[in-house]
Amino acid sequence: MPALATEVTPEIMAKYEVVIGLEVHVQLATRTKIFCACPTSFGAPPNTNVCPVCLGLPGALPVLNRHAVELAVMTGLALNCNIPPSSVFARKNYFYPDLPKGYQISQYDKPIAEHGFVDIVVNGVPKRIGVTRAHMEDDAGKSIHEGFKDSDRFTYVDLNRTGTPLVEIVSEPDMRSADEAYEFLTELKQTLQFCAVSTCDMEKGHLRCDANVSVRLKGAPEFGTKAEVKNVNSFRFVKMAIEYEVQRQIAVVESGGKVVQESRLFDPGSGETVSMRSKEHAHDYRYFPEPDLLPLQISDAWRTSIQATMPELPQSRRKRFVDAYGLREYDAQTLTSTRDLSDYFERAAKASGDARSAANWVMGDLAGALKADNKEITESPVSSEQLGELLAFVAKGEISNKLAKDVFEKMFTTGDSAGAIIEREGLKQISDTSALDKIIDEVITANPKQVEQYKSGKTQVVGFLVGQIMKASKGQANPALVSQMLKDRLG
């Protein structure tokens, strides 16, 4: 934490309450833009995915993208929002070099979704964070300030992003710590990714976050003056930015100053926020209803049909994994971090008949092997059904857990099934007592000292003898059976 004018001790911190609200811009996963048929694909050469509509040329008329509306409705439903039957697009007027229309088409007093919530858990304590609204809007282009040989003198503009569909999600000022904000964002991102309304890929700017932060003395009736930290591009940075802002604002108040309402930028290098522009005179965007678009009507039937296509959301899935499969809370959390991972686990659990073992393998051996190969779960050379088959062999006692690890490694490199590898390499567990008798005889003869120790009461030596038998059987003996037979033999 960088030095501040006034030192903010924990005692001083404890006098204050932190108030945080978040505004999150999410790019909807449509193939084309919100008001024209230009592609939304990332990385195209500058100014190639454009047309008269998204360039804002005179006379061009917007045509609303139905898929974008469906994804926005789904976003609202996933955040437990009310979807009013009618919402209205509005012009938000401002000038910016990467905004050729001179206005953004957004929604103002009648958004597509409102009055929702997101449930989070921080340090074991559940909390409900209100969602004020989610509204649709088009994105602006990009000003590029670096990367060209004359970037010291010129700014370049790429309008490919202009007209990309966004939803802006506005939370209530319900969060009281940076940790709560971090959890809210994490839950929000997972939920939206499960619904596939957005990739939420922060590196590509598909999810961008502004944080409104203020402090007040505990018990004070009114909110303090807020500063807005703009466009933070990772959740970790959001947390750091909020932590810095809280200290900075308390230091200002403690030293007799006043917090100024302003926009600030977070600098990950220094861990500080710096003033961007004063907001003392709030922008007047002169909102008015967009004359080129009719009010957007969402019928009950349409809303219901969108709802019917939604998957089970992460929160409900986590609960079900705990209740139905007996998983630990933490494991359920890990296994629902993405929809692909939770689908994989659930298929493997069903195929294996042993959900807890499937959970351990997915989070352990499989995760390790994927990481070593730099692969995603969707690229796993071992399918969920194949992993389930392997674990079923273990559950039925046909191979030991230790051998299963060897078989798994072979499955991962060859893509062959567990059954094929076990068959080919003759790895089936030996549960045939006459075959085991022979090996036990050999081990008893070879280790008279340990046998003597056992008979004199040092029964823990049985572990050593079982180990020798396992070794002699190349790991194929059934260890539980061996242990029992050995004890019977040694009396």
For residues 140 and 338, give the distance between their C-alpha atoms in angstroms, rounded to a whole number.
29
**Closest distance to Zn ion from the beta carbon of 25 (Å):** 20
How many Cβ atoms from other residues are within 10 Å of residue 229's Cβ? 25
What is the nearest approach in angstroms of Zn ion to the Cβ of residue 157?
Answer: 15
Identify residue 314 by its one-letter amino acid code: P
- Of 53 and 241, nearer to Zn ion (C-beta) is 53
**At its nearest, how many Å lie between Zn ion and the CB of residue 44?**
12
Select 62 or 76, whichever has its Cβ closest to Zn ion. 62
Which of 51/122 has CB closer to Zn ion?
A: 51
CB of 35 to Zn ion, least distance (A): 8
Which residues touch 396 (CB under 8 Å, ≥6 apart)?
Answer: none
Of 38 and 136, nearer to Zn ion (C-beta) is 38
Minimum separation from the CB atom of position 56 to Zn ion (A): 10
Query: Residue 32 CB, nearest distance to Zn ion (Å)?
Result: 8
Polymer length of the chain? 491
Closest CB to Zn ion among 65 and 429? 65
- Site for Zn ion, rule CB under 5 A: 36, 38, 51, 53-54
User: 477 near 432, Cβ under 8 Å?
Assistant: no
**Whole-number minimum distance, CB 420 to Zn ion, in Å?**
53
How many other CB atoms are found less than 10 A from the CB of residue 409? Answer: 14
C-alpha distance across the termini of the chain, in Å = 68
The residue (of 160 and 225) whose beta carbon lies closer to Zn ion is 160
At 229, the amino acid letter reads V
348: helix, coil or strand?
A: helix
> Is residue 35 within 8 Å of 64, Cβ to Cβ?
yes
Query: In angstroms, what is the minimal distance from the CB of 93 to Zn ion?
Result: 20
H helices of 115-162, in order, are: none
CA torsion sign, 60 to 63 to 65 to 70? positive
Q: CB neighbours (10 Å) of residue 160?
A: 23
Q: Which is nearer to Zn ion, 104 or 132 (CB)?
A: 104
CB of 54 or CB of 369, closer to Zn ion? 54
3-class state of residue 154 by DSSP: coil
Quote the CA–CA distance of 171 and 127 in Å, as a whole number.
14
Q: At residue 195, what are phi and psi to the nearest 5 degrees? A: -80, -10
Integer CA distances (angstroms), 319 to 344, 353, 363, in order: 17, 19, 18
Contact 286, 108 (CB under 8 A): no
With 0-12 / 13-18 / 19 or more C-beta atoms within 10 angstroms meaning exposed / middle / buried, residue 280 is: exposed
Closest residue by Cα to residue 169 from 21, 307, 29, 274: 21
Q: How far is the CB of 319 from Zn ion (least distance, A)?
A: 43
Alpha-carbon gap, residue 184 to 178, rounded angstroms: 10
d(CA 371, CA 364): 11
Looking at the Cβ atoms of 38 and 88, the one nearer to Zn ion is 38
Question: Rounded to whole angstroms, how far apart are CA atoms 404 and 459?
Answer: 29
The minimum distance between CB 43 and Zn ion, in angstroms, equals 17
Given the complex with Zn ion, which of 139 and 183 has the nearer CB atom?
139
Q: Which is nearer to Zn ion, 28 or 53 (CB)?
A: 53
Task: Determine if residue 272 is left, alpha or beta; phi over 0 gives left, psi from -120 to 50 gives alpha, anything else beta.
Answer: beta
By beta-carbon proximity to Zn ion, the closer residue of 138 and 389 is: 138
- Smallest separation, CB 167 to Zn ion (Å): 19
Q: Could you give the 3-state DSSP secondary structure of residue 25?
A: strand
Of the two residues 30 and 400, which places its CB atom closer to Zn ion in the complex? 30
* Shortest distance (Å) from residue 64 CB to Zn ion: 13
- Least separation in angstroms between residue 144's CB and Zn ion is 19
Give the span between the Cα atoms of 275 and 445, in whole angstroms. Answer: 82
